[in-house]
Amino acid sequence: MTAFLNALGGKLAERWLALLAIPGLVYLVALATAVTLGQRHWRDTGRLRERLDALAAAPGAHSAGVLAVVAVGVLAGAALTGTGAQALGALVERVWLAGPRGPVTRWLTARRLRRWRAADHAYRTALVAAGRARLGGAADAEALADEAEARYARRNEIGLAAPHHPCWTGDRVTAPDRRVWRAYRVDLTVAWPHLWLLAPDSTRAELGTARAALSAAARLAAWGAAYLLLAVWWWPAALVGVVTAATGVVRGRTAAESFAELAEALVDLHGKDLAQALGLECEGRLTPETGEEVTRLLSKPD
Protein backbone atom coordinates (compact mmCIF):
# COMPACT_ATOMS: atom_id res chain seq x y z
CA MET A 1 0.00 0.00 0.00
CA THR A 2 2.87 2.39 0.81
CA ALA A 3 4.47 1.73 -2.56
CA PHE A 4 1.13 2.24 -4.30
CA LEU A 5 0.50 5.55 -2.54
CA ASN A 6 4.02 6.74 -3.35
CA ALA A 7 3.53 5.86 -7.02
CA LEU A 8 0.13 7.55 -7.04
CA GLY A 9 1.59 10.66 -5.42
CA GLY A 10 4.35 10.74 -8.03
CA LYS A 11 1.86 10.52 -10.88
CA LEU A 12 -0.32 13.23 -9.37
CA ALA A 13 2.73 15.46 -8.99
CA GLU A 14 3.68 14.84 -12.62
CA ARG A 15 0.17 15.72 -13.78
CA TRP A 16 0.15 18.81 -11.57
CA LEU A 17 3.44 19.96 -13.09
CA ALA A 18 2.34 19.22 -16.65
CA LEU A 19 -1.17 20.69 -16.47
CA LEU A 20 -0.85 23.53 -13.98
CA ALA A 21 2.59 24.48 -12.68
CA ILE A 22 4.76 24.59 -15.80
CA PRO A 23 2.22 26.31 -18.14
CA GLY A 24 1.34 28.66 -15.28
CA LEU A 25 4.99 29.54 -14.68
CA VAL A 26 5.54 30.27 -18.37
CA TYR A 27 2.47 32.48 -18.37
CA LEU A 28 3.64 34.35 -15.27
CA VAL A 29 7.00 34.97 -16.96
CA ALA A 30 5.18 36.32 -20.01
CA LEU A 31 3.01 38.50 -17.76
CA ALA A 32 6.06 39.91 -15.97
CA THR A 33 7.71 40.60 -19.33
CA ALA A 34 4.60 42.34 -20.63
CA VAL A 35 4.29 44.55 -17.56
CA THR A 36 8.01 45.39 -17.55
CA LEU A 37 8.40 46.23 -21.24
CA GLY A 38 4.98 47.52 -22.24
CA GLN A 39 4.10 48.59 -25.76
CA ARG A 40 6.73 51.34 -26.07
CA HIS A 41 9.71 49.12 -25.13
CA TRP A 42 8.38 45.83 -26.52
CA ARG A 43 11.83 44.56 -27.62
CA ASP A 44 14.09 46.27 -25.08
CA THR A 45 15.92 43.30 -23.57
CA GLY A 46 18.21 45.67 -21.69
CA ARG A 47 15.21 46.86 -19.71
CA LEU A 48 14.55 43.27 -18.67
CA ARG A 49 18.17 42.77 -17.59
CA GLU A 50 18.06 45.94 -15.52
CA ARG A 51 14.89 44.75 -13.79
CA LEU A 52 16.41 41.35 -13.04
CA ASP A 53 19.61 42.93 -11.74
CA ALA A 54 17.58 45.21 -9.47
CA LEU A 55 15.69 42.25 -8.06
CA ALA A 56 18.94 40.32 -7.53
CA ALA A 57 20.47 43.28 -5.68
CA ALA A 58 17.50 43.71 -3.36
CA PRO A 59 18.23 42.84 0.33
CA GLY A 60 15.59 40.13 0.40
CA ALA A 61 17.26 38.28 -2.46
CA HIS A 62 19.98 37.05 -0.08
CA SER A 63 17.58 35.75 2.56
CA ALA A 64 16.70 32.07 2.40
CA GLY A 65 13.37 32.68 4.13
CA VAL A 66 12.34 35.40 1.68
CA LEU A 67 13.37 33.26 -1.28
CA ALA A 68 11.34 30.33 0.06
CA VAL A 69 8.26 32.51 0.53
CA VAL A 70 8.66 33.96 -2.96
CA ALA A 71 9.10 30.48 -4.46
CA VAL A 72 5.97 29.23 -2.73
CA GLY A 73 4.08 32.32 -3.85
CA VAL A 74 5.21 31.89 -7.46
CA LEU A 75 4.24 28.21 -7.45
CA ALA A 76 0.87 29.05 -5.93
CA GLY A 77 0.35 31.75 -8.53
CA ALA A 78 1.30 29.33 -11.29
CA ALA A 79 -1.14 26.75 -9.92
CA LEU A 80 -3.93 29.31 -9.70
CA THR A 81 -3.20 30.48 -13.23
CA GLY A 82 -3.27 26.91 -14.50
CA THR A 83 -6.52 26.24 -12.66
CA GLY A 84 -8.05 29.31 -14.26
CA ALA A 85 -6.89 28.15 -17.67
CA GLN A 86 -8.44 24.74 -17.01
CA ALA A 87 -11.74 26.36 -16.11
CA LEU A 88 -11.58 28.49 -19.24
CA GLY A 89 -10.75 25.37 -21.24
CA ALA A 90 -13.87 23.66 -19.90
CA LEU A 91 -15.86 26.69 -21.04
CA VAL A 92 -14.26 26.55 -24.49
CA GLU A 93 -15.15 22.86 -24.73
CA ARG A 94 -18.75 23.62 -23.80
CA VAL A 95 -18.89 26.29 -26.49
CA TRP A 96 -17.49 23.85 -29.07
CA LEU A 97 -20.11 21.23 -28.19
CA ALA A 98 -23.06 23.50 -27.34
CA GLY A 99 -26.24 23.62 -29.36
CA PRO A 100 -27.99 26.72 -30.73
CA ARG A 101 -29.34 28.27 -27.53
CA GLY A 102 -29.07 32.00 -28.24
CA PRO A 103 -29.49 34.44 -31.13
CA VAL A 104 -25.82 34.34 -32.13
CA THR A 105 -25.48 30.56 -31.97
CA ARG A 106 -28.77 30.09 -33.84
CA TRP A 107 -27.54 32.44 -36.54
CA LEU A 108 -24.23 30.56 -36.81
CA THR A 109 -26.05 27.23 -36.99
CA ALA A 110 -28.42 28.51 -39.68
CA ARG A 111 -25.45 29.85 -41.64
CA ARG A 112 -23.64 26.50 -41.49
CA LEU A 113 -26.85 24.72 -42.47
CA ARG A 114 -27.29 26.93 -45.54
CA ARG A 115 -23.70 26.25 -46.59
CA TRP A 116 -24.17 22.51 -46.07
CA ARG A 117 -27.39 22.40 -48.07
CA ALA A 118 -25.81 24.34 -50.92
CA ALA A 119 -22.82 21.98 -50.93
CA ASP A 120 -25.12 18.95 -50.71
CA HIS A 121 -27.19 20.21 -53.65
CA ALA A 122 -24.04 20.79 -55.69
CA TYR A 123 -22.79 17.29 -54.87
CA ARG A 124 -26.06 15.59 -55.80
CA THR A 125 -26.29 17.57 -59.04
CA ALA A 126 -22.72 16.57 -59.95
CA LEU A 127 -23.47 12.95 -59.00
CA VAL A 128 -26.51 12.82 -61.29
CA ALA A 129 -24.53 14.39 -64.12
CA ALA A 130 -21.71 11.86 -63.64
CA GLY A 131 -24.19 8.95 -63.61
CA ARG A 132 -25.87 10.09 -66.80
CA ALA A 133 -22.53 10.61 -68.51
CA ARG A 134 -21.35 7.12 -67.52
CA LEU A 135 -24.58 5.49 -68.72
CA GLY A 136 -24.39 7.41 -71.99
CA GLY A 137 -20.72 6.58 -72.52
CA ALA A 138 -19.72 10.25 -72.62
CA ALA A 139 -16.04 11.05 -72.96
CA ASP A 140 -16.06 13.31 -69.90
CA ALA A 141 -17.63 10.70 -67.59
CA GLU A 142 -14.48 10.26 -65.52
CA ALA A 143 -13.98 14.01 -65.16
CA LEU A 144 -17.58 14.40 -63.99
CA ALA A 145 -17.09 11.56 -61.50
CA ASP A 146 -14.01 13.29 -60.11
CA GLU A 147 -16.01 16.51 -59.82
CA ALA A 148 -18.73 14.69 -57.88
CA GLU A 149 -16.12 13.24 -55.50
CA ALA A 150 -14.62 16.69 -54.96
CA ARG A 151 -18.04 18.17 -54.19
CA TYR A 152 -18.74 15.27 -51.82
CA ALA A 153 -15.51 15.99 -49.92
CA ARG A 154 -16.36 19.71 -49.86
CA ARG A 155 -19.75 18.99 -48.32
CA ASN A 156 -18.25 16.69 -45.71
CA GLU A 157 -15.78 19.42 -44.71
CA ILE A 158 -18.81 21.37 -43.51
CA GLY A 159 -20.37 18.32 -41.87
CA LEU A 160 -21.05 14.63 -42.43
CA ALA A 161 -24.69 15.36 -41.66
CA ALA A 162 -26.85 18.48 -41.75
CA PRO A 163 -25.45 20.87 -39.09
CA HIS A 164 -27.30 21.23 -35.79
CA HIS A 165 -24.56 23.11 -33.89
CA PRO A 166 -22.87 26.46 -34.37
CA CYS A 167 -19.39 24.86 -34.25
CA TRP A 168 -18.00 22.12 -36.48
CA THR A 169 -16.70 20.21 -33.46
CA GLY A 170 -20.16 19.90 -31.92
CA ASP A 171 -21.62 18.56 -35.15
CA ARG A 172 -18.78 16.08 -35.64
CA VAL A 173 -19.06 14.67 -32.12
CA THR A 174 -22.86 14.27 -32.42
CA ALA A 175 -22.90 13.13 -36.06
CA PRO A 176 -22.60 9.43 -35.04
CA ASP A 177 -26.01 9.74 -33.30
CA ARG A 178 -27.76 10.47 -36.59
CA ARG A 179 -25.59 8.21 -38.74
CA VAL A 180 -26.08 5.24 -36.40
CA TRP A 181 -29.82 5.92 -36.29
CA ARG A 182 -30.07 5.97 -40.09
CA ALA A 183 -28.02 2.79 -40.45
CA TYR A 184 -29.31 0.66 -37.55
CA ARG A 185 -32.22 2.54 -35.94
CA VAL A 186 -30.26 2.49 -32.67
CA ASP A 187 -30.52 5.51 -30.37
CA LEU A 188 -26.84 5.94 -29.56
CA THR A 189 -27.52 8.20 -26.59
CA VAL A 190 -29.56 5.48 -24.91
CA ALA A 191 -27.34 2.60 -26.03
CA TRP A 192 -23.98 4.20 -25.22
CA PRO A 193 -23.63 3.07 -21.55
CA HIS A 194 -24.49 -0.49 -22.52
CA LEU A 195 -22.08 -0.51 -25.46
CA TRP A 196 -19.41 0.88 -23.16
CA LEU A 197 -19.83 -2.00 -20.74
CA LEU A 198 -19.61 -4.52 -23.58
CA ALA A 199 -16.54 -2.97 -25.17
CA PRO A 200 -13.11 -4.47 -24.40
CA ASP A 201 -10.62 -2.52 -22.32
CA SER A 202 -8.52 -1.60 -25.34
CA THR A 203 -11.51 -0.02 -27.08
CA ARG A 204 -12.50 1.95 -24.00
CA ALA A 205 -8.90 3.13 -23.63
CA GLU A 206 -8.88 4.41 -27.22
CA LEU A 207 -12.16 6.24 -26.70
CA GLY A 208 -10.94 7.72 -23.43
CA THR A 209 -7.72 8.90 -25.07
CA ALA A 210 -9.61 10.60 -27.88
CA ARG A 211 -11.98 12.28 -25.42
CA ALA A 212 -9.09 13.44 -23.26
CA ALA A 213 -7.37 14.84 -26.36
CA LEU A 214 -10.46 16.96 -27.05
CA SER A 215 -10.35 18.41 -23.53
CA ALA A 216 -6.61 19.05 -23.83
CA ALA A 217 -7.16 20.89 -27.12
CA ALA A 218 -9.79 23.09 -25.48
CA ARG A 219 -7.33 23.92 -22.68
CA LEU A 220 -4.71 24.83 -25.27
CA ALA A 221 -7.16 27.15 -26.98
CA ALA A 222 -7.90 28.69 -23.57
CA TRP A 223 -4.19 29.36 -23.03
CA GLY A 224 -4.17 31.06 -26.42
CA ALA A 225 -6.98 33.34 -25.27
CA ALA A 226 -5.04 34.11 -22.09
CA TYR A 227 -1.98 35.14 -24.09
CA LEU A 228 -4.15 37.30 -26.33
CA LEU A 229 -5.18 39.15 -23.18
CA LEU A 230 -1.53 40.03 -22.51
CA ALA A 231 -1.41 41.82 -25.86
CA VAL A 232 -3.13 44.75 -24.12
CA TRP A 233 0.23 45.46 -22.40
CA TRP A 234 2.69 43.80 -24.81
CA TRP A 235 1.65 43.20 -28.40
CA PRO A 236 4.08 40.29 -29.20
CA ALA A 237 1.96 38.17 -26.84
CA ALA A 238 -0.76 38.33 -29.50
CA LEU A 239 1.43 36.28 -31.85
CA VAL A 240 1.84 33.58 -29.22
CA GLY A 241 -1.88 33.70 -28.47
CA VAL A 242 -2.95 33.36 -32.10
CA VAL A 243 -0.61 30.43 -32.77
CA THR A 244 -1.59 28.67 -29.53
CA ALA A 245 -5.32 29.16 -30.05
CA ALA A 246 -5.13 28.04 -33.69
CA THR A 247 -3.19 24.93 -32.66
CA GLY A 248 -5.82 24.17 -30.05
CA VAL A 249 -8.63 24.49 -32.59
CA VAL A 250 -6.86 22.22 -35.09
CA ARG A 251 -6.13 19.63 -32.42
CA GLY A 252 -9.72 19.86 -31.23
CA ARG A 253 -11.04 19.10 -34.71
CA THR A 254 -8.67 16.14 -35.00
CA ALA A 255 -9.69 14.80 -31.59
CA ALA A 256 -13.40 15.23 -32.38
CA GLU A 257 -12.92 13.38 -35.68
CA SER A 258 -11.12 10.54 -33.93
CA PHE A 259 -13.69 10.24 -31.14
CA ALA A 260 -16.63 10.26 -33.58
CA GLU A 261 -15.06 7.60 -35.78
CA LEU A 262 -14.35 5.40 -32.77
CA ALA A 263 -17.92 5.84 -31.52
CA GLU A 264 -19.34 4.69 -34.84
CA ALA A 265 -16.87 1.80 -34.96
CA LEU A 266 -18.04 0.72 -31.50
CA VAL A 267 -21.59 0.34 -32.80
CA ASP A 268 -20.46 -1.34 -36.01
CA LEU A 269 -18.41 -3.93 -34.13
CA HIS A 270 -20.46 -4.46 -30.97
CA GLY A 271 -24.02 -3.55 -31.95
CA LYS A 272 -24.74 -7.21 -32.60
CA ASP A 273 -23.28 -8.13 -29.18
CA LEU A 274 -25.60 -5.61 -27.54
CA ALA A 275 -28.64 -7.09 -29.26
CA GLN A 276 -27.67 -10.61 -28.20
CA ALA A 277 -26.93 -9.47 -24.64
CA LEU A 278 -30.51 -8.13 -24.50
CA GLY A 279 -31.84 -11.54 -25.56
CA LEU A 280 -32.61 -10.67 -29.18
CA GLU A 281 -31.85 -12.97 -32.08
CA CYS A 282 -29.12 -11.49 -34.26
CA GLU A 283 -27.24 -14.10 -36.22
CA GLY A 284 -25.80 -11.88 -38.95
CA ARG A 285 -25.16 -8.16 -38.98
CA LEU A 286 -27.29 -5.78 -36.97
CA THR A 287 -30.39 -4.83 -38.98
CA PRO A 288 -32.62 -1.76 -38.62
CA GLU A 289 -35.44 -3.98 -37.38
CA THR A 290 -33.27 -5.42 -34.61
CA GLY A 291 -31.89 -1.96 -33.90
CA GLU A 292 -35.39 -0.59 -33.35
CA GLU A 293 -36.05 -3.39 -30.89
CA VAL A 294 -32.80 -2.61 -29.08
CA THR A 295 -33.80 1.06 -28.82
CA ARG A 296 -37.28 0.12 -27.56
CA LEU A 297 -35.89 -2.16 -24.87
CA LEU A 298 -33.28 0.32 -23.68
CA SER A 299 -35.70 3.23 -23.65
CA LYS A 300 -37.81 1.27 -21.11
CA PRO A 301 -41.21 2.54 -22.30
CA ASP A 302 -44.09 2.55 -19.80
Q: What is the pLDDT of residues 120-155, one digit of tens each?
A: 999 999 999 998 888 888 888 889 899 999 999 999
Q: What is the pLDDT of residue 14?
A: 54
- What are residue 41's phi and psi, to 5 degrees? -115, 45
pLDDT at residue 6, rounded to an integer: 43
Return the pLDDT at 2: 53
CA angle at 122 for the pair 118 and 124, rounded to the nearest 5°: 115
286: nearest Cα among 210, 198, 207: 198
pLDDT of residue 77: 80
Of 204, 182, 172, the closest CA to residue 269 belongs to 204
Residue 10: what pLDDT? 46
What's the confidence (pLDDT) of residue 74? 75
Residues in the chain, pLDDT under 50: 1, 3-10, 12-13, 16
Please, what's the b/e burial string for 145-180 (b: 16 or more CB within 10 A of its CB; e: otherwise)? Answer: bebbeebbeebeebbbbebbbbbbbbbbbbbbbebb
Residue type, 247: T
